[in-house]
Copies of this chain bind each other. A is one copy, B any other.
Amino acid sequence: MGIHERKEREKEQRREDILDAAQRVFFESGLATSTMDDIAESAELSKGTLYLYYKSKEDLYLTVMMRGMQLLYDAFSEVANSACAPAEMLSRLSGAYLHYFNLHRDYFRMMHYWQAPQFHKQVSEEVKLSCSVLNQRIWDLVNGMLQRCVDGEILRKDLKPAEVGLILWSSATALMMRIDSEEGIWREAFQLNLHDVLNLSNDLLFEAICTEKGRLELKALSNS
C-alpha cells in the first residue's frame, strides 16, 4: 500500500513549495516588509495552508535560512573530503567561505537574524533547535579541519582549533556584513575597497596563527 508513502512525499513537496515561495519573497523584500499574504500568493495557496506546514513567519524565515546553512555545510564538507594537505585545506576553507558570501549573499544576510535573538518574537523551540544543531555541525566540521592543520603543524600548537576558527570566522563575517550594507560608504568616505580589507585581514590573521611551516606552504599555494 504505497498511498501513505505517496502522501508523505506530496506533503514534503508542499513543504518545499512553500519554502520556495517564502524564499522568493524574503529574498525580494527582507523579513520586515514581507507578509504571509505575499508568500501565500506566491505559493498559490491560501494563508491558512502555510500554517499547516510552518508555525510562524519567523519559523519560515529561519527554515529558508537553514537552506543557506546547509549549502555552507556542503561547501565546507567538500573541502574537508578533498584529499589535500592541511595547508591547502586551510586555504580552500577560507576561499569556500568567501565564495559562499559572494554567491549566496541573500542567505548570508538572513543569518544575522539567527544571531540576534533580540529580534525574535515567534521563533519556535523546534526551529531554534534545528538551527543550533546545523550550526553545531558546521562548527564541528570546521574544527575537525583546523585540528588536522594543528596536527600537520600548519597552525600553532598553542592555539585551540575552535579558538582559531572563531577568530577567523568573526573577523571575516563582520567585514562581509560591512561589504553587504556599507560598501559604497567606505569607498567614498575613506577610499577603501572593503574586499581588499577583508583579504588583508585574513592575511594578517593567517600570518599570526600559522607556524613557520604553515606560512611557507600557504605562500607557496598563493603563488602557484
Determine the distance from Cα of A170 to Cα of B109 in the docked complex, in whole angstroms: 16
Residues of B within 8 A of A47 (CB): none
Residues of B within 8 A of A109 (CB): 116, 118
When the two chains form the complex, which single residue of B136, B173, B204, B205 contacts A189, counting CB atoms closer than 8 Å? Answer: B136
* B171 and A118 contact, CB distance less than 8 A: no
Tell me the nearest residue of chain B to A207, going by C-beta.
B208
When the two chains form the complex, which single residue of B120, B159, B170 contacts A174, counting CB atoms closer than 8 Å? Answer: B170
Interface size on A, residues (CB 8 A): 47
What does the 1/0 interface line of A180-214 toward B look like (CB < 8 Å)? Answer: 01000110011010100100110011011100000
**How many copies, total?**
2
Residues of B within 8 A of A224 (CB): none
**A121 proximal to B (CB < 8 A):** yes
What does the 1/0 interface line of A156-177 toward B look like (CB < 8 Å)? Answer: 0001101100110111011101
When the two chains form the complex, which single residue of B30, B33, B115, B118 contacts A30, counting CB atoms closer than 8 Å? Answer: B118
* B119 and A32 contact, CB distance less than 8 A: yes
**A143 proximal to B (CB < 8 A):** yes
Residues of B within 8 A of A118 (CB): 30-32, 109, 112
15 sample A-B contacts, Cβ–Cβ < 8 Å, listed by A number: A33-B121, A109-B118, A116-B181, A117-B181, A119-B119, A159-B200, A170-B171, A170-B174, A170-B175, A170-B178, A170-B201, A171-B174, A173-B174, A204-B209, A208-B208
